[in-house]
Amino acid sequence: MEENRATWDDRAEAHAKSGNYHVADFIADPSYLSEVVQFDRPRLGDLTGLEGIHLQCHIGTDTISLARLGARMAGLDFSERSLEMARDISTRCGTSVDFVRGDLYEAPEVLGRQYDFVFTGIGALCWLPDIAGWAAVVRRLLKPSGRLLLREGHPMLWALDEERDDGLLVVHHPYFETVEPETEETSETYVETDAVLKLGRWHSWNHGLGEVMSALMTEGFTIRLFEEHRSVPWNALPGHMVVGDDGEWRLTGDADRLPLTYTLHADLPG
Ligand SMILES: C[S@@+](CC[C@H](N)C(=O)[O-])C[C@H]1O[C@@H](n2cnc3c(N)ncnc32)[C@H](O)[C@@H]1O
């Protein structure tokens, strides 16, 4: 976890400066929304006046977007450098968002209150070793009748070999949650940047769809929406993908071959 945090700290400024996070668009246009929030907007319902917490908010672009849809937002992340970026962007946007530092598994104690909804995803769950523990945290953060809004990379996508360059999609990493993480050492990141990044170590865990849903149901959630998508908001399989006007990447060739992301909404009882 400490190596992951250090790697996120080192990447945060490069992410904020990269065109991929569209910070200049957020500042220039008060109605601009992140492509991630824009994608799921038809599914989100009316968030006006609701209190929301964005778990693993990174530099806060999705958090600010949800505030622009009328929610009263807070964001939590364990990377202080990411939160510095988030606070700076939020100030420059004139948005009121509370950004709090904390580890995901300590979020109920760190935040000390409950919310109408939890928003999370797009490269969030893969940094967590224990999906059952995550679901318990989400349940504890929600008021009765509270809702989880999740869009995440599909576990089949995370299981593929992203470095394969012979045109084949090959299953290489675990689909199911494992005790030991997959570890990668790299001085690269997932945005376009000229910044010189430190050699960092990423430790990640996959979580199968059944594991995610079972963890939520064990905590008393009812799954009210589940959709698999043919697109993903980053270039997840370089050499296999094309980007559309919506900022979403799709497989070249037959996009029906593989789900790349999913949206899952789940409710607690009243
Ligand atoms: C790819 S971002 C996901 C957020 C959003 N989709 C985005 O792209 O801006 C992953 C975030 O998870 C955070 N993170 C990873 N592990 C965490 C943990 N155990 N507790 C809190 N935050 C964590 C990282 O610091 C990083 O900011």
What residue segments make up the domains of the chain, in order of their start?
2-153+176-235+262-267
79: CA distance to ligand 1 center in Å? 8
Tens-binned pLDDT, residue by residue, of the chain (270 aa):
999 999 999 999 999 999 889 999 999 999 999 999 999 999 999 999 999 999 999 999 999 999 999 999 999 999 999 999 999 999 999 999 999 999 999 999 999 999 999 999 999 999 999 999 999 999 999 999 999 999 999 999 999 998 888 888 999 999 999 999 999 998 888 888 888 888 889 999 999 999 999 999 999 999 999 999 999 999 999 889 999 999 999 999 889 999 999 999 999 999
Pocket of ligand 1 (CB under 6 A): 1, 4, 8, 56, 58-59, 61-62, 77-79, 82, 103-104, 122-124, 127
Angle at 130 between CA 235 and CA 205, to 5 degrees: 30
Q: Cα(214)–Cα(177) distance, rounded to whole angstroms?
A: 13
What is the phi-psi region of residue 197: left when phi exceeds 0, alpha when psi lies from -120 to 50, beta otherwise?
A: beta
Mutate-to-test residue for ligand 1 from 10, 58, 202, highest number of ligand atoms within 8 A of CB: 58
Mutate-to-test residue for ligand 1 from 40, 64, 77, 83, highest number of ligand atoms within 8 A of CB: 77
> Ligand 1: which atom is nearest the Cα of residue 36?
6
Is 75 within 8 Å of 100 (Cβ atoms)?
yes
> Ligand 1: which atom is nearest the Cα of residue 122?
6
Assign domain 2-153+176-235+262-267 to its CATH architecture.
Answer: 3-Layer(aba) Sandwich (3.40)
Task: Tally Cβ neighbours within 10 Å of residue 33.
Answer: 20
> Residues of 69-91 as b/e, b for ≥16 C-beta within 10 angstroms?
bebbbbbbbbbebbbbbbbebbe
